[in-house]
């Protein structure tokens, strides 16, 4: 079997986590003598952007990215999460495999990251042990994708209900659940207040909710796994 060297970028603002990833790669290449890794780690959006642009310009190769979603935003405020970085990577470096790794475990976020990035790996940090990390690496290299337990569970919930709600419904529910006001929604969504109200009424009808305020709606939406 021929030798292969993979180049890896780890984007995560927790040094203990990046260290754990590195350890896993080390271990893996010891078990598989023909495979080695060249690993870089970055801890914020600005440096990540610099590295991605550099790789693109110099036509270097990047095989694998581990991507945390919650990161300190860039100084100019343009890149506010790992999701934005992922979009950039998909655009500039389409052959790079992205493994999303996050603490978010609510359906809405996982779902929207899936749609926007379509990653080759998706890990919820609560799920993964050092051992599972090594399995992840193996799967990513030989037979992607790899999704961790919680992700698979959320995806299953999703499939059963997916025909009902679209992205905008989901976003409305999500925004309401974090306390956004109706009057502020038109600047977040491409819809008028009247349109949003119509959708809300539709959702309440769908879920069989009579109450006038939104608590019950959000409760049921959470229960059904939409947020």
Partner DNA sequence: AAAAAAAGTAAGGACAATCCTTACTCTTTT
Partner DNA sequence: AAAAGAGTAAGGATTGTCCTTACTTTTTTT
Sites of contact with a copy of itself (CB under 8 A): 13-17, 19-20, 43, 103, 125-126, 128-130, 133, 178-180
Task: Work out the angle at residue 103's Cα, subtended by the Cα atoms of residues 49 and 39, and round it to the nearest 5 degrees.
Answer: 45
DSSP tag of 32: S
Tell whether residue 220 is a contact of DNA (CB under 7 A): no
Site for DNA in 123-182 (CB under 7 A): 168, 181-182
Q: Where does this chain touch DNA (CB under 7 A) — which range of 21-29, 137-145, 188-196, 218-226?
A: 188-196
80 is in the binding site of which of a copy of itself, DNA, none (Cβ under 5 to 8 A by kind)? none
| Angstrom distance (rounded) from CA 190 to CA 227 | 20
191 is in the binding site of which of a copy of itself, DNA, none (Cβ under 5 to 8 A by kind)? DNA
The minimum distance between CB 174 and DNA, in angstroms, equals 15
Nearer to DNA, 94 or 190 (CB): 190
The minimum distance between CB 93 and DNA, in angstroms, equals 32
Q: In the block, which residue shows the tokens 């080695």?
A: 36
126 is in the binding site of which of DNA, a copy of itself, none (Cβ under 5 to 8 A by kind)? a copy of itself
Nearer to DNA, 132 or 214 (CB): 214
The minimum distance between CB 192 and DNA, in angstroms, equals 3
Report the interface residues with DNA, using CB under 7 A. 168, 181-183, 190-195, 197-202, 212-214
């Amino acid at each position: 079997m021929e030798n292969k060297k993979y180049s890896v970028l780890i984007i995560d603002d927790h040094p203990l986590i990046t260290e754990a990833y590195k350890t896993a790669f080390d271990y893996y290449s010891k078990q598989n003598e023909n495979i080695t890794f060249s690993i870089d780690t970055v801890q914020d959006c600005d440096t990540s952007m610099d590295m991605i642009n550099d790789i693109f310009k110099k036509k270097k190769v990047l095989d694998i990215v581990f991507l945390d979603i919650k990161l300190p935003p860039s100084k100019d405020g343009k890149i506010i999460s790992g999701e934005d970085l992922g979009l950039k990577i998909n655009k500039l470096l389409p052959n790079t495999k992205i493994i999303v790794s996050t603490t978010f475990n609510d359906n809405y976020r996982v779902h929207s990251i899936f749609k926007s990035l379509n990653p080759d790996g998706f890990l919820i940090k609560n799920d993964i042990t050092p051992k599972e990390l090594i399995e992840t690496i193996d799967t990513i290299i030989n037979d992607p994708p790899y999704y961790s337990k919680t992700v698979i569970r959320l995806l299953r919930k999703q499939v059963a209900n997916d025909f009902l709600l679209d992205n905008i419904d989901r976003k409305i529910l999500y925004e309401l659940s974090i306390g956004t006001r109706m009057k502020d929604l038109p600047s977040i969504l491409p819809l008028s207040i009247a349109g949003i109200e119509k959708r809300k009424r539709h959702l309440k009808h769908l879920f069989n909710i009579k109450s006038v305020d939104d608590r019950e709606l959000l409760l049921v939406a959470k229960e059904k796994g939409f947020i």
